[in-house]
Structure 1
Amino acid sequence: MPGAPGEAPRAVRAARAIAVAAGLLTLVLVGHRLLPGELGFLVETALVWLGMLVLPLLAWAAVARSRGGATVALVPAVVWALLFVPAVVPLTWTAADPVTGRQLVVASQNVAAGARTAGDSASSLAAGGAQVIGLQELTASARRDAADVLRESHPHSYTVGTVGLWSAYPIENARPLELRLGWRRALRADVVTPSGTVRVYVVHAASARVGAHGERDAMLEALARVVAADDSERIVLVGDLNAVSTDRALSGLHDELDEPNLGSGGVLRTWPTTLPLLGLDHVMGRGVEFTDRESLVVGEGDHLATRTTLNL
């Protein structure tokens, strides 16, 4: 077991215990997809934060004055970095240069049914330059409020169930998507921009809790099949998917679509607004180049909004 030559027995014992803990943490990081059922759901939801467990291991090694313990504690830190650093580097480091006249700004937010600030959210997103806006968790009054403030700037719209799409450009071929739920929480439509048509999906996945995420899993699986069969040249998908990027339920969508990092970098966090911990709200695409992405506070809902700029 780890232990540097000359270390005291206490330090050697600590190094051995730290090695066991670090080994288990490393196995979870690498093999989380093998964890069954609810354990897998919980671990994958919190996976990006498990790297923080390295800190108490390093503190333990420092207190025990164990160089061997400190060394093995760094193993899961390296594994975490290999897994997550590519997803947290700023998009601005790798994004293509903006193309004047061929850009599209797309925004999305779960406006929260009880917040009653859908109009404020829609107004802020429009003022921020979004030409295409997708909103989720719309009530009848929220739908009217959003439509009222967007009537002039975004005269083209399509809503179904609790989701809606507003656009400054014409909308064609709009249709609802049931996605095995029996009710409608998703739509797709073609937005006809001056630089060509973009197929836009707006989605609000079913809720996900421990022991109660089967409907969400089925919906995301069905959505992935719909997207896989979609031969549109350009696709942009936005919405509250009720899943973090490491959740296995999103693997089918990630096989079909690319998801950009945040423009300024860092871990994607969109929920809850007061202390964001989980990145439940996504933007993905195919056939487009993302040049910027940010999360921002608009309205008084419990989700941050997403605003994305892309080249067509």
Structure 2
Amino acid sequence: MTDVASPTAARSRRRTAARVIAVTAAAALLATVAVWIPGVVGTAASVVLPWLGIVLASLVVLAFVRARRTLLLLLVPVLVWLLTLAPSAPGFAASVDGPTFTVVSQNVRAHSGGAATSAEQIAVSSPDVIALTELDGDSLASARSALDERYPHSYAVGTVGVWSRYPLTSADALSLGLDWKRALRVTVQTPDAEVAVYVLHADSVRPGQQQGRDTMLANLADAVAEDSASSVVAVGDFNAASADPALGDLRGELDWVRPTDGTLGFTWPAALPLTRIDQVFARGLDVVSSGTMRAGESDHLATVTTFGL
């Protein structure tokens, strides 16, 4: 009886494993494809997308151990996942011999009282430009006190501010479709080139409420499309994961800056980063390095990007 029952039980386990693999693989494929759907579905799927790799890797291991015939079944979801994640995958640093331009950007979390600490810790690395978002009145004053001596050229409006080592030859507030200003554009006059820098604090995303953010991102894409500057950088809190379809128009105008530190550049929440919602885009510049850093008590990591001019 034991000799008969054992093969039967083994076949039953293989069938059960095959069903689990098939159902889970189908769910992972649907979640991956959902990233291409505009609106709340695509926004939610873009946050989950990187983590689907763990699910698919686990299915591959399970298939090797319990149901090898299902490996072919896994080929489609794995390939679709790889192709969908590819535009948000890590990149490689460019090698440049000339001057560089470093921009650090962080959401300092309004009413946290940590803007000064963030500003001071960021300034230690001596970037050329510091962009801060989610500023309130007190945090703006604290940031100014911490930075104005070392970064004499600055401009702030609404919840965003920028500090520069180099002169700002123009500075404009941008509403990008909202009733109040949450973005700006400045021209930074470095010794070697002019760089147009956009700083964005996109509207928040909540269940059933993301139109404000989508409008801002679409209008930012329109703004940079009309910008005649040869070198453009856009940084800030976009409130959109890297694969979010709402970033599609902006990706058509600027290059999404890939992290060069071998990670996916997750920035939020700072205690255990699960997604990248603080983005960096550029045009006309080579990326020398791109990564993140902890600064202050914010719930966002800062993005640190160095460009070759």
User: TM-score, length-normalised on structure 1?
Assistant: 0.89
User: Kindly tell me: are residues 205 and 161 of structure 1, through their superposed partners in 2, closer, same or farther at Cα, counting changes over 3 Å?
Assistant: same
- Give the aligned length: 300
1:265 is aligned to 2:262? yes
In structure 1, the partner of 2:174 is 177
Question: Within 5 Å, which residues of 2 pair with 1:203-214?
Answer: 203-214=200-211
1:310 is aligned to 2:280? no
1:107 is aligned to 2:110? no
Indicate the SS of the match to 1:190: strand
In structure 1, the partner of 2:36 is 33
Whole-angstrom distance in 2 between the partners of 1:261 and 1:252: 17
In structure 1, the partner of 2:89 is 88
Task: Return the match for 1:138 from 130, 135, 148.
Answer: 135
Question: Within 5 Å, which residues of 2 pair with 1:250-261?
Answer: 250-261=247-258
In structure 2, give the amino acid aligned to 1:47: L
Conserved? CA contact 1:131–1:167, under 8 Å: yes
Question: Structure 1 regions of 5+ residues with no counterpart?
Answer: 1-6
User: Kindly tell me: are residues 212 and 258 of structure 1, through their superposed partners in 2, closer, same or farther at Cα, counting changes over 3 Å?
Assistant: same
1:54 is aligned to 2:56? yes
In structure 1, give the amino acid aligned to 2:180: W
Moved more, 72-81 or 143-152: 72-81
Conserved? CA contact 1:41–1:210, under 8 Å: no
1:225-259: CA deviation from partner (whole Å, max 9, x where unpaired): 11111111110111000001111111111111112
User: Kindly tell me: are residues 125 and 98 of structure 1, through their superposed partners in 2, closer, same or farther at Cα, counting changes over 3 Å?
Assistant: farther
In structure 2, the partner of 1:127 is 124
Task: Return the match for 1:164 from 161, 164, 168.
Answer: 161
Indicate the SS of the match to 2:173: strand
Task: Return the match for 1:151 from 130, 148, 152.
Answer: 148
Whole-angstrom distance in 1 between the partners of 2:123 and 2:279: 19
Indicate the SS of the match to 1:174: strand
In structure 2, the partner of 1:3 is none
Whole-angstrom distance in 1 between the partners of 2:241 and 2:148: 33
Indicate the SS of the match to 1:106: strand
Indicate the SS of the match to 2:214: helix
User: TM-score, length-normalised on structure 2?
Assistant: 0.90
Moved more, 272-281 or 13-22: 13-22
Indicate the SS of the match to 1:8: helix
Whole-angstrom distance in 1 between the partners of 2:262 and 2:249: 24
In structure 1, the partner of 2:5 is none
Whole-angstrom distance in 2 between the partners of 1:110 and 1:17: 41
Whole-angstrom distance in 1 between the partners of 2:131 and 2:44: 29
Question: Structure 2 regions of 5+ residues with no counterpart?
Answer: 1-9
Whole-angstrom distance in 1 between the partners of 2:221 and 2:90: 26
User: Kindly tell me: are residues 90 and 41 of structure 1, through their superposed partners in 2, closer, same or farther at Cα, counting changes over 3 Å?
Assistant: closer
User: Kindly tell me: are residues 167 and 283 of structure 1, through their superposed partners in 2, closer, same or farther at Cα, counting changes over 3 Å?
Assistant: same
Moved more, 19-28 or 255-264: 19-28
User: Kindly tell me: are residues 107 and 143 of structure 1, through their superposed partners in 2, closer, same or farther at Cα, counting changes over 3 Å?
Assistant: same
1:45 is aligned to 2:47? yes
Conserved? CA contact 1:16–1:69, under 8 Å: no
User: Kindly tell me: are residues 32 and 110 of structure 1, through their superposed partners in 2, closer, same or farther at Cα, counting changes over 3 Å?
Assistant: closer
| Offset of residue 56 of structure 1 | 4.6
Identical-pair percentage: 42
Task: Return the match for 2:96 from 80, 95, 98.
Answer: 98
Indicate the SS of the match to 2:222: helix
Whole-angstrom distance in 2 between the partners of 1:209 and 1:156: 35
Conserved? CA contact 2:34–2:45, under 8 Å: no
User: Kindly tell me: are residues 61 and 214 of structure 1, through their superposed partners in 2, closer, same or farther at Cα, counting changes over 3 Å?
Assistant: same
In structure 1, the partner of 2:78 is 77
In structure 2, give the amino acid aligned to 1:82: L
1:173-195: CA deviation from partner (whole Å, max 9, x where unpaired): 20100111110000001000001
| Offset of residue 109 of structure 1 | 0.4
In structure 2, give the amino acid aligned to 1:77: V
1:292 is aligned to 2:294? no
1:67 is aligned to 2:65? no
| Offset of residue 142 of structure 1 | 1.3
In structure 1, give the amino acid aligned to 2:164: S
| Offset of residue 27 of structure 1 | 4.3
